């Protein structure tokens, strides 16, 4: 009996349990990035309308971000609060990019170190089904397609065109699509890490 308990204890010691410090460290980083996104999203209510005229650093930041993200200029043209809208959109990209970079580091390590079995088919299907929807959110946000071409109605042939005429409108539309883009930034590393890991486990199954 004691030999059986000892052998079970040895197996438990050999089993790759998550490193608590590792999990807590990245958990704090994720919490900080999500808090940054929330603060940035709410900042639209306190930022000055002429923020680009008032701050050269903010103007340079927006000018730099416009090189990579077309939705900044597109939404700025639509909104009557051009300077506020452009800075707001540019600022929201910061936590989105941060969560993507963080996920590219965390998930490959976590998946390969801690997952030793293939995930359930249900889990795989949920991930695969969710990716196209989240990609749609990111694509709409990146090109501001939802604002430029409008959002088609589920019933009828009309379209809704966001005007971003108020701070509340900017907050509502951009926090929704920006939040969706954050989840896409997390899901892509998860998906690719799991795909590579599934292939690895499938080829090395005993």
State the chain's mean pLDDT as an integer.
81
Lowest mean pLDDT among 33-37, 100-104, 141-145, 193-197: 193-197
Residue 18's pLDDT is what? 57
Residue 97: pLDDT band by 50, 70, 90 thresholds? Answer: very high
Closest CA to 100 of 3, 191, 194: 191
pLDDT band at 135 (very low <50, low <70, confident <90, very high): confident
Q: How far is CA 1 from the centre of its chain?
A: 51
> According to the model, what pLDDT value does residue 122 have?
59
Residue 159 CB-density burial (10 A; 0-12 exposed, 13-18 middle, 19+ buried): exposed
Q: Specify whether the backbone of 164 is left (phi greater than 0), alpha (psi in -120 to 50) or beta.
A: left
Total residues belonging to the chain: 206
């Amino acid at each position: 009996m004691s030999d059986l308990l000892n052998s079970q204890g040895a197996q438990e010691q050999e089993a790759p349990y998550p490193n608590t410090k590792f999990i807590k460290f990245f958990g704090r980083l994720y919490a900080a990035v999500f808090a940054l996104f929330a603060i940035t999203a709410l900042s639209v209510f306190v930022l000055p309308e002429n923020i680009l005229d008032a701050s050269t650093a903010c103007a340079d930041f927006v000018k730099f971000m416009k090189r990579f993200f077309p939705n900044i200029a597109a939404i700025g043209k639509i909104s009557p609060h051009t300077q506020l809208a452009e800075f707001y959109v540019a600022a929201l990209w910061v936590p989105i990019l941060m969560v993507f970079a963080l996920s590219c580091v965390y998930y490959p390590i976590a998946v390969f170190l801690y997952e030793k079995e293939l995930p359930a088919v249900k889990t795989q299907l949920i991930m695969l089904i969710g990716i196209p929807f989240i990609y749609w959110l990111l694509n709409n946000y990146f090109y501001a397609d939802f604002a430029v071409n409008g959002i088609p109605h589920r019933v009828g042939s009309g379209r809704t065109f966001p005007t971003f005429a108020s701070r509340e409108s900017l907050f509502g539309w951009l926090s929704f699509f920006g939040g969706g883009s954050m989840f896409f930034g997390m899901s892509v590393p998860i998906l690719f890490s799991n795909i590579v890991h599934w292939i690895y486990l499938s080829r090395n199954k005993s």
